[in-house]
Chains A and B, each alone.
Chain A
């Protein structure tokens, strides 16, 4: 026996050292990566990229509240001025015309390269007459005041067409020279960070920089009443990280405190407490190391979930200690009797958790690996290492009196059989009544962002007209030029949809930076000076505008014929630089042009996705994918849910198969499963009746009720032939349930929806599983009084 013990101890120490070494290298995250798919489709990849690195992920929506409109606008200008000087921010927009001068210059000088109207036909006599006639008619309009001065140099109106295209789209309201919300109660700024949305530390620093810049600008009485509000993906992610971090720490401390208190109450012995926590610590350490090795990082949510492991793994030590008795009540060591039951219990738990391993939802897969590893290691430690460490003559306080009281209770539990049947039927009826709204189908249900923050975000977004890029067409190409050319071609396919009212508008990087080929083609459609002069004379013959007045036009066209095509560098210092960079991105070694679509009627109607897809599929040119990001994220979630149902079913099947194989009796399997099914039904009914719609995490929780609850049912089953479980077994089961409930129950109070969902399901479920098992297993016995 000695060498085996030494070997077990040596293996245990080696394992601990190895795990600690792995953990020292581990990256812990608390961002939203747990909610993103592991093996995304092309559309999902785009969604993920947008969420993590896209232009939308870098937008901060800033609002200044309080004070009067003037104070808010002044604060907005002061804040914007500071942020513009900060290299951490790429764009700071608040309604001030900062880039206007540069923008106009760039458009004006490059109008023949940028204007989509530039084509050979436009510079024939007929084309010129039509275009110039249009410009002359415009002089009658109030806009004529603006365009009159442009006429001699730009009689075809290219500049105006460009300005109109860039100024189209909803722009925020103004108050006192700065953007304001529609109700006028907030000054608004739109800030884009240079750092990617996935760079959480940089996002946090940027948010802090905005706040400190705001504080620094607050001087004077007028600024006293002002306050700053921020929203946006970066803010959400940073807040979520802080919440998850705080939660994990809080949960870990609380659950440890509860379990320690409980154990001290049971054991009344400090050595027992320390030894009892040994399997827990070993299991947790090994679990973290396993997740780190398997996923490359450990998510905060996984650690938060780990508190449940504390409650679960401590059970094995409880069973061991409570039933360990050198001079046991039956006169012999009880160990051999209960280990098979525990082994079966551990295996059913593993069946449940292992199902999660196969989930495409990284959050779940991590939970699965964490739990399986944790349970196996904790159980193994309790079985092989802990006995080796028990001092000779180790014993804890005798819990038999408590056990006997429990035995008495259990003996009377059979009277509750019919009420249990009634309760189960009522639960089934309640579920049937609510069958239409059992499942929540939105990914947002998992979002760690509080609903109040989501509402603020929506309000700011609506007021700012900020792109939420719900609909976007993506054109992928091996290089930048091909992506731009693709964007132009796809733009041509979208253009007819504007007229048909399917789309309100679309953006394209090619609007800001046409492909070199297009620019050269436009340049080539400009006739040489002599030819243009002749055609111009013909064109203006019937117009009240004589060709002599248009001498500047001839000179500028000639200059444009010699102008080099625009490059990305030429956009520097204008607001088009950012637009081009946001819409033309390099990802995973290839280039993607993003064409965000605007819904028709100012967003009042939804975009008919089928029509857009049909338009994009009309020829086999550039590869364009239409993505409805909201729809895609919901589809993503629906996929998770579908998969989770399948996995839950597979897990359940594995548990049933395992029980059938071990117990070799359909009646006993049914006996074990019946109370668990009743517990699941009762929990689901309870959740539905309290207004909760079930998410994927509730489903996981239900599976865990079966996996964890089967342990209790098995103990009752083992004792079914006899007069029921021994008093010590009963006492240890009660303790085990209490620690489990403490672990899962704590999660119920978490503000992270994922953890809360599991907690509210498994916490009550574990208790019900124990009670229902006691009820179904018990039978009237003539006399159970201690003799």
Chain B
């Protein structure tokens, strides 16, 4: 009886022990890299100085390691953005645009930061941003500060919040004071 209780306690404690292992960037990236693919709903609000009210949108995010990210906006207008390797495909109202990511460094920085985070690609993130992780495994905050001065002229900071291997919010603060907040929920792993 006692032995069984001990075993139960041990099994309960084990994950806690693992949880207690040092939580740092390497651990976060490692956990993120383990998630090969997933799908989640998002809602995004953009706060732009030029507009009196925020613009809202919502839809589905899909990720498949190593480098495919889909952002399917369902409202207010259907639109899709697919980042596959270096190619960004934007489809809006029967118009399809395929652009090379390198041609649009600013736009690229944003989508690429999400993709590299989801992929747990520590090296890629470090190349573009100075990273700072705070909080605990259950609730962490990762700050990305652009290294490239040109990018820094546009993007002030990207803040990603999450819990363990799940992202819950991405906030982008632009240099001109405009800001967008994307909330992520109902994340499920996919095949």
Interface contact B53-A164, CB-CB below 8 Å: no
Q: Which of A120-163 contact B (CB under 8 A)?
A: 136-137, 139-146, 148, 151-152
- Are A136 and B77 within 8 A (Cβ)? no
Point out the residues of chain A lying under 8 angstroms from B53, CB to CB. 544
Q: From B18-26, B44-52, B161-169, B183-191, give the one contacting chain A.
A: B44-52
Q: A142-B111, A145-B107 are in contact. Are A177 and B102 (CB under 8 A)?
A: yes
A682 to B51, CA, bound (A): 86
Question: Is A168 in the interface zone, CB < 8 Å from B?
Answer: yes
Tell which of B52, B76, B103 touches A140, judged by Cβ atoms closer than 8 Å: B76
Q: Is the CB of A174 within 8 A of B92?
A: no
Among listed B9-17, B93-101, B115-123, B132-140, interface-contacting one: B93-101
Residues of A within 8 A of B103 (CB): 97
Take A143-B92, A145-B110 as given contacts and tell me if A136 and B98 are in contact as well, using a CB distance cutoff of 8 Å: no
- B50 pairs with A146, CB closer than 8 A: no
Residues 532-547 of A contacting B (Cβ, < 8 Å): 544-546
Interface string of A6-23 (1 = CB under 8 A from B): 000000000000000000
A785 within 8 A of B: no
Q: Are B100 and A141 in contact (CB under 8 A)?
A: no
B81 within 8 A of A: yes
| Cβ-defined contact, B51 with A146, below 8 A | no
Q: A97-B103, A141-B92 are in contact. Are A546 and B56 (CB under 8 A)?
A: no
Residues of the A chain whose Cβ atoms lie less than 8 Å from the Cβ of B56: 140
Q: Which residues of A contact B179 (CB under 8 A)?
A: none
Q: In the bound complex, do residue A140 and residue B46 qualify as a contact, i.e. CB atoms below 8 Å apart?
A: yes
* Candidates A97, A171, A545; contact of B52 at CB < 8 Å: A545
Give Cα distance in the complex from A358 to B105, angstroms: 65
The reply to whether B92 and A140 contact each other, CB–CB distance below 8 Å, is no
Interface size bucket, B side? 20 to 34
Which residue in chain A gives the minimum CB-CB distance to B155? A145
For residue A167, CB closer than 8 A to chain B, the reply is: yes
Q: Does A219 contact B (CB under 8 A)?
A: no
**Is A549 positioned at the interface, with any CB of B under 8 Å from its CB?**
yes
Contact A139/B55 with A97-B103, A148-B178, A545-B50 known, Cβ cut-off 8 Å? yes
B71 interface contact, C-beta 8 A? yes
A544 contacts across to B, CB distance below 8 A: 51-53, 55
Contacts of B50-65 to chain A: CB distance below 8 A: 50-53, 55-57
Q: Which residues of A contact B55 (CB under 8 A)?
A: 136-137, 139-140, 144, 544
Q: Give Cα A763–Cα B17 distance, bound, in whole angstroms.
A: 94
Q: Which residues of A contact B104 (CB under 8 A)?
A: 146
Take A136-B55, A139-B46 as given contacts and tell me if A171 and B111 are in contact as well, using a CB distance cutoff of 8 Å. Answer: no
Complex CA–CA separation, A289 to B100 (angstroms)? 60
Q: Which of B79, B81, B86, B107 contacts A146 (CB 8 A)?
A: B107
Q: How many A-B residue pairs have CB under 8 A?
A: 65
Interface size on A, as a range, is 20 to 34
**B145 located at the interface, meaning its Cβ lies under 8 Å from any Cβ of chain A in the complex:** no
A142 to B104, CA, bound (A): 12
Is A142 touching B107 in the complex (CB atoms < 8 A)? yes
Q: Are B46 and A167 in contact (CB under 8 A)?
A: no
Shortest beta-carbon distance from A131 to chain B in Å:
15
Q: 1/0 per position for B16-44, CB-CB distance to A under 8 A? A: 00000000000000000000000000001
Residues of B contacting A97 in the complex (Cβ-Cβ under 8 angstroms):
103
Query: With A and B bound together, what is the CA distance between A167 and B81 in angstroms?
Result: 17
Is residue B90 contacting chain A, with contact meaning CB distance below 8 A?
Answer: yes
Does the CB pair A144–B81 fall under 8 Å?
no
A550 nearest in chain B by CB position:
B50
Evaluate contact between A151 and B76: CB separation under 8 angstroms: no
Per-residue interface assignment for chain B, residues 72 to 92, with 1 indicating a CB less than 8 Å from any chain A CB and 0 otherwise:
010011010100001100101
Question: Residue on A with the closest CB to B86?
Answer: A174
Q: Least Cβ distance of A497 to chain B in Å?
A: 15
A141 touches B97 (CB 8 A): no
In the assembly, what is the distance between CA of A148 and CA of B177, in Å?
A: 13
Q: How far is it, in angstroms, between the C-alpha of A164 and the C-alpha of B98 when the chains are bound? A: 11
B175 CB, nearest partner CB in chain A, Å: 12
Distance in Å: Cβ of B123 to nearest Cβ of chain A: 19
Q: Which residue of B is nearest A174, CB measured? A: B100
A145 CA to B111 CA, complexed, in Å? 11
A357 to B8, CA, bound (A): 105
Q: Which residues of B contact A152 (CB under 8 A)?
A: 50
- A136 near B51 (CB under 8 angstroms)? yes
Distance in Å: Cβ of A643 to nearest Cβ of chain B: 47
Establish whether residues B97 and A167, one from each chain, have CB atoms under 8 Å apart when the complex forms.
Answer: yes
Identify A137's interface contact among B48, B76, B86, B102, CB under 8 A.
B76
For the complex, give the distance between the alpha carbons of A171 and B97 in Å: 10
B106 within 8 A of A: yes
Chain B residue numbers with a CB within 8 Å of A145 are 106-107, 110
Indicate which residue in B50, B81, B86, B98 contacts A142 across the interface (CB closer than 8 Å): B81
Q: How far is the CB of A536 from chain B (nearest CB, A)?
A: 14
Which A residues are in CB contact (< 8 Å) with B99? Answer: 167
Whether A164 contacts B106 in the complex (CB less than 8 A), given A141-B73, A143-B92, A151-B50, comes out as: no
Across-interface contacts of A140 in B (CB, < 8 A): 44, 46, 55-57, 73, 76-77
Contacts A142-B107, A146-B104; A137 near B77 (Cβ below 8 A): yes
Chain A, residue nearest B94 (CB)? A499
CA distance A531 to B35 in the complex (A): 58
Bound form: Cα–Cα A137–B99 in Å:
21
User: Separation in Å of the B60 CB from the closest CB of chain A?
Assistant: 14
Asked if B97 and A164 make an inter-chain contact with CB atoms under 8 angstroms apart, the answer reads yes
Interface-centre pick from A141, A148, A152, A174 (highest chain B CB count, 10 A):
A141
Once bound together, how far apart are the Cα atoms of A545 and B55, in whole Å?
11
Residues of B within 8 A of A142 (CB): 71, 79, 81, 90, 107, 110-111
Of residues A97, A148, A167, which shows the largest number of chain B Cβ atoms within 10 Å of its Cβ?
A: A148
| Cβ–Cβ < 8 Å partners of A171 in chain B | 98
Within 8 A of B (CB), among A395-425: none
**Pair A164/B48 contact, Cβ less than 8 Å:** no
Residue of B nearest to A97 (CB): B103
Please name the residue on chain A nearest to B154 by beta carbon. Answer: A145
In the complex, A136→B103 CA distance in Å?
24
Residues on A with C-beta less than 8 A from B52 are 544-546
Interface contact B50-A164, CB-CB below 8 Å: no
Task: Pick from B51, B90, B106: contact of A143, CB below 8 A.
Answer: B90
Chain A residue at minimum C-beta to C-beta distance from B90: A143
The CA of A168 and the CA of B93, in the complex, are separated in Å by 13
Cross-chain contact B79 with A141 (CB below 8 angstroms) = yes
Q: How far is the CA of A141 from the CA of B98 in the complex (A)?
A: 15
Chain B residue with the shortest CB-CB distance to A546: B52
Q: Least Cβ distance of B186 to chain A in Å?
A: 21
Name the CB-closest residue of B to A173.
B87
Cα A151 to Cα B48 with chains together (Å): 11
Residue of B nearest to A163 (CB): B97
> Which residues on B sit within 8 Å (CB–CB) of A177?
102
On whether the beta carbons of A139 and B111 are closer than 8 Å, the reply is: no
Residues of chain A lying within 8 A (CB to CB) of residue B71 = 142
A360 to B178, CA, bound (A): 71
Which residues of chain A are near B106, meaning CB under 8 Å?
A: 145
Residues of B within 8 A of A174 (CB): 86-87, 100
The residue of chain B having its C-beta at the shortest distance from the C-beta of A177 within the complex is B102
Question: Which residues in window 140-188 of B have CB below 8 A to A?
Answer: 178
The answer to whether residues A148 and B48 also contact, given A140-B73, A141-B79 and a CB cut-off of 8 A, is yes
Interface core residue of B51, B77, B81 (most chain A CB under 10 Å): B51
15 A-B pairs whose Cβ atoms sit less than 8 Å apart in the complex: A137-B55, A139-B48, A140-B57, A141-B57, A141-B92, A142-B90, A142-B110, A164-B95, A168-B95, A544-B51, A544-B53, A545-B50, A545-B51, A546-B52, A549-B50
**Contacts from B to A (Cβ < 8 Å):** 44, 46, 48, 50-53, 55-57, 71, 73, 76-77, 79, 81, 86-87, 90, 92, 95, 97-100, 102-104, 106-107, 110-111, 178
Q: A142-B79, A142-B90, A148-B48 are in contact. List 8 more A-B contacts (CB 8 A).
A: A97-B103, A139-B46, A140-B56, A141-B79, A145-B110, A171-B98, A174-B100, A544-B52
Closest 8 CB pairs of A and B: A544-B53, A140-B55, A140-B57, A544-B52, A544-B51, A142-B81, A145-B107, A174-B100
